[in-house]
Amino acid sequence: MKILVLNCGSSSVKYQLIDSETEKALAKGSVERIGMSGVSLKQERYDGDKLHYVGEILDHIMAIENVVLVLISKNHGVIADRSEIDAVGHRVVHGGEKFTHSVLITPEVMEALKECIDLAPLHNPHNIKGIQAAMRLLPGVPQVGVFDTAFHQSMPRWAYMYALPYSLYRRYGLRRYGFHGTSHQYVAQIASEMVGRPLQELKVITTHLGNGCSMAAVKDGCSVDTSMGFTPVEGLVMGTRSGDIDPAALLHVMGQEELTLAQANALLNKHSGLWGLSGISSDVREIVEEVENGNDRAKLALEVMTYRIKKYIGAYAAAMGGLDAVVFTAGIGENSPIVRKKVCEEMEFFGIRLDEAKNSVRGKEAVISTDDSTTKVVVVPTNEELVIARDTMRLVGGK
């Protein structure tokens, strides 16, 4: 089967066409700046062929139509006709409490998705637009929704409830949902295969460090806690997001500087994290470069970020009553030996012993702890698109 995986953002569509037999992407690409000037469609084919088209693409329907046209084009295509697309898998950011697993899209599911808009007003409307566009352009082709939140629906209530008035949970669904679920689920599974033990018997902490960063405590294959909350702001220090802060500190600044809600939101989401602390960059590569140049603010940013991860490892080991493996994934987790080193240093009491030489790995699956480390430390490149393709195939009953 050939499965088109779509990830629709406010002004972008990322895509992959995956062959379910080989589980490899025949083509992957993105459309950026939809509805703005200089829209670009970039694609890379399995054989290295590259396409970069700049033109006018006004909305998500046009974007997906152009993607399909490129996929069937003579020069850059990978299929002869759009009828070769057997199913479409969509990344959906927020599934609320309704969606605990991936689902086949039906009219009832579309209604339920619309009910989740209030929980993720910046993301879900675009995911829904993408589904509607794909249904119009590929009529009769089954569509599947795969949720960032679904994997974390197994959390016990003491992990997901905030100690706010219970009525706010009832009224607004105010609770921890967590995100990056497909990534946490995938890397935990691969890590268990790498350490040669069934996931159902393991206590694993997965650390997804990309532009957004989150951790999960995965016990016996189920997420029992995760660091992102009602929104993706909570938890770890990220590129531009604050992660955990005293909520009253924000109220204080809002009062002092007479910030509007929108300004306060931007403060937490866009001006904080590594960027806010360092004043240099939100990118770990540039932060590390500046640390090497002796910049103290860059050093501080790295210290706060890695200390927070370390603290969560302690918390999650306690939550699970033990720890068998720590997994690093996503842009920073896969590629930054110094971040992994700072997180794992002085953790021998947890059975964590990093092998300095093995820790130099970048972008590849590897066990980076010493042979006598009782807790294994593992690097696993994430592949959220593959999880979406697998779930899609399973739900449409294909091979």
Residues in touch with ligand ADP (CB under 6 A)? 210-212, 239, 283-285, 330-332, 335-336
Q: Minimum Å distance from CB 284 to ligand ADP?
A: 4
Q: Is 148 a catalytic residue?
A: yes
Closest alpha carbon to 146 in 102, 99, 94: 102
How many angstroms separate the CA atoms of 360 and 373, rounded? Answer: 17
Q: Which of 116, 372, 109 is nearest to 230 (CA)?
A: 116
Query: HSE of 64 in the Cβ direction (CA atoms, 13 Å)?
Result: 24
Measured from the CB atom, is 229 or 331 closer to ligand ADP? 331
User: Which residue out of 148, 225, 324, 391 is catalytically annotated?
Assistant: 148
One-letter amino acid at 274 equals L
Shortest approach of ligand ADP to residue 333 CB, angstroms? 8
To ligand ADP, the closest distance from the beta carbon of 157 in angstroms equals 29
Among residues 29 and 212, whose Cβ is nearest to ligand ADP? 212
Nearer to ligand ADP, 12 or 100 (CB): 12
- Close Cβ partners of 197 (under 8 Å, ≥ 6 residues apart): 324
Taking the least distance from each CB to ligand ADP, the nearer of 62 and 327 is 327
Nearer to ligand ADP, 155 or 284 (CB): 284
What is the three-state SS of 320-384? HCCCCEEEEEHHHHHHCHHHHHHHHCCCHHHCECECCCHHHCCCCCEECECCCCCEEEEECCCCH
Q: Are 396 and 144 in contact (CB under 8 A)?
A: yes
In eight-state DSSP terms, residue 165 is -
What stretches of the chain show up as alpha helix (H) in DSSP? 60-71, 107-115, 124-137, 157-160, 166-172, 181-195, 247-257, 261-269, 273-278, 284-292, 296-320, 330-335, 337-344, 384-396
Report residue 174 as tokens. Answer: 């105010």
The nearer residue to ligand ADP, 252 or 362, going by C-beta atoms, is 362
- Which residue's Cβ has the minimum distance to ligand ADP? 331
Return the active site residues.
148
